[in-house]
Structure 1
Amino acid sequence: MKKLGIVALALFIQHVSAQANRFVYQVTMKPDAENKTDIKTENAYLDISQTQSIFYSENRIKRDSIMQKAFQGGGGRGNINREQMEGLRSNINYSVEKDKTNQKTYFKDRIGRDIYSYEEDRPLNWKISSETTKIGEYKVQKAETDFAGRNWTAWFTTDLPYQDGPYKFGGLPGLIVKVEDDKGDYSFDLMKNYKVAELPSLNQFGNTIKVKRAAYIKQQQKFRADPASFMNQSGGQGGFSTTMRMGGGRGPGGGGNQNPVDMKKRMEERVKEEAKKNSNPIELQ
């Protein structure tokens, strides 16, 4: 009985340690430089475990769930409800993973058929102020930093035992409750938090290619200039993944067998339209 008790205790401790805390942020964005009145708002999750954290769109995990069920049902793309997927479009097509063990941050984003991953090589140099206030139930302290061409103000709390935050932000003596740039183009606001069983396993259609940040930016520029040739040079899921990269489009697969010339034209038009709508990215440099 004693041995059984020890085993049960060990399993309980293992279960607790495997749990993660999910922090839900409301992300407010003005992605169109020519139309700042077009404000996009959606939720994103920051899931934190003992060894790592991952930041990603709430709609991303919902889309993944729909696709997984469709493919498990044996119907593939044909079983996916296009209107439902359209309703889950997201301006947050990337994910950010932080490895607590080696203090490294990894950014992942889809370009064409593949996932490109790079290690963030720019440190966050925070200037912590003595100014404090209260946001919701948390006592917070002010900190400022310049990052990727924007000036950011963060409010962090030591009421929660995490030195983390949304997007690439972190490294303060507490959890970031709010962070926004001085132009009011982007803000992340903590809404609520709760426990989850484990960190999610995000679907990674196509290959995952590790590159330097500068190489990722070049590939992104190439894709916007000539998306069709980008699709031809790599293996994987074809137009299905491109549609997902563009946030939904007309639905996975683009509607079955189509004229390649028409598909190429539509793809290029979609990429140009998307680039115009995202002419004010979160990172300016």
Structure 2
Amino acid sequence: MKKLGLLFLGLATQIIFAQANRFVYQVTMKTDSTDKTIQKSELANLDVSAGNSIFYAENRLKTDSIFARMRQTGIYNFSQDQRQALRSNIDFIVEKDYKTGKKIFKSQIARDQYAYEEDRPMDWKILPETSKIGDYKTQKAETDFAGRIWYAWFTTEIPFQDGPYKFSGLPGLIVKVEDSQGDYSFDLKEAKKINEVASFTQRGSTITVKRAAFEKQQNQFRKDPTAALTSRGGPWRMQMDPNQRKRMEDRLKEEFNKNNNPIELK
């Protein structure tokens, strides 16, 4: 009977970990350093399977589902109001491989998809402070990463050494993480089982580069956004007259100016 009980426990454990897990975070951002009274907030998901995870905006998942349905039905109806409602400030995906320890950051610049492997270690200092957050007993940790001091609260009650964005490496799931200036925070709101982790459709291939090359390309796009959209040949090239180009350039630059406080400062 004892052996049977152990066998049942082993099978139950395999079933639990065979399923995927979704951790839903409320992401709060102050993206304009000139006016920190403006606070943006949206949901993002961390999907965890046996050997990897993916972090992405929930609006990205909703948008992808809408386009997949339109392709299946052949009915293309996506209004400007819908587009506006599903806009996201989390314009990236972070994939982590537990076996290799690799973290892959993916984002779009102009019309190209880019990916780079995070090359900076995340060294944590575990602090003695503990706190009850929601249903979880948590402990505080600190790290200096990408120009910000971050404080995280992790729980050993959820046995995944992972967290939102690029954060990972603590002895349990990160329930909350925020920077010392209060500009960015990630707060766990829900944990649930799912059948499989999210996957996203993509047109074209991904350009894999070093992080420094990605940041250089991103900076160039911010300086002259319309050049990247109009200079390429082929089907991706956008044809614009001078007035259209000026309007688009002004709109994009205004948007960039209001997003001058990125999550990574260096």
Q: Are 1:271 and 2:249 an aligned pair?
A: no
- Equivalent positions of 1:70-109 (< 5 A) are 70-76=70-76, 79-109=77-107
Task: Establish whether residue 284 from structure 1 lines up as the match of residue 265 from structure 2.
Answer: yes
Q: CA deviation at 1:72?
A: 2.7
Aligned to 1:220, the other structure's residue is in SS state helix
My pick for the range that moved more, 102-111 or 223-232, is: 223-232
Take 2:51 and 2:247, find their aligned partners in 1: how far apart are those partners? 43
Offset from partner CA, 1:208-253 (integer Å, 9 cap, x none): 10000000001001111222221232666556xxxxxxxxxxxxxx
**Which residue of structure 2 aligns with residue 243 of structure 1?**
none
Distance 1:58 1:229, change over 3 A: same
User: Residue 88 of structure 2 aligns to a residue in which SS?
Assistant: coil
Structure 2 CA distance, aligned partners of 1:35 and 1:92? 19
In the alignment, the residues of structure 2 paired with residue 189 and residue 234 of structure 1 have an alpha-carbon distance, to the nearest angstrom, of: 43
Q: 1:130 to 1:227 in 2, by over 3 A?
A: same
Match of 1:132 in 2: 130
| Counterpart for residue 219 of structure 1 | 217
Find the counterpart in structure 1 of residue 3 from structure 2: none
Q: Say which SS state the counterpart of residue 163 (structure 1) adopts.
A: coil
Aligned residue pairs: how many? 254
Superposition CA RMSD, Å? 2.0
2:21 alignment partner in structure 1:
21
**Relative to 1, partners in 2 of residues 1:171 and 1:233: Cα closer, same or farther, differing over 3 Å?**
same
Q: Where does 1:187-202 land on structure 2 (aligned, <5 Å)?
A: 187-202=185-200
* Aligned counterpart, 1:49: 49
Distance, in Å, in 1 between the alignment partners of 2:17 and 2:160 is 15
Using the alignment, how far apart are the partners of 2:55 and 2:130 within structure 1? 26
* In structure 2, C-alpha distance between the alignment counterparts of 1:144 and 1:120, rounded to whole Å: 19
CA distance in 1, matches of 2:185, 2:210: 27
Give 5+ residue unaligned stretches, structure 1: 1-11, 240-257
SS of aligned partner of 1:35: coil
Corresponding residue for residue 9 of structure 1: none
Task: For residues 97-156 of structure 1, give each alpha carbon's deviation from its aligned partner in whole angstroms, at most 9, with x where no partner exists.
Answer: 001111110111100111110000000000001221111110000100000000000000
- Quote the Cα distance in structure 2 between the aligned partners of 1:98 and 1:58: 18
Distance 2:46 2:87 in 1: 19
Percent of residue pairs identical? 58
1:96 Cα offset (Å)? 0.5
Gaps spanning 5+ residues in structure 2: where?
A: 1-11
Q: Would you say the 8 A contact 1:206–1:236 is kept in 2?
A: no
Task: Name the SS of the counterpart of 1:139 in structure 2.
Answer: strand
Shift of the alpha carbon at 1:36? 0.2
Distance 1:175 1:17 in 2: 15
Deviation for aligned residue 1:188: 0.4
Partner amino acid for 1:175?
A: L
> Normalising to structure 2: TM-score of the pair?
0.89
Deviations 1:59-99 (A, max 9, x none): 111111112222333245xx222211111111101111001
Superposed CA deviations along residues 246-281 of structure 1, whole A, max 9, x for unmatched, are xxxxxxxxxxxx854343223312221221121000
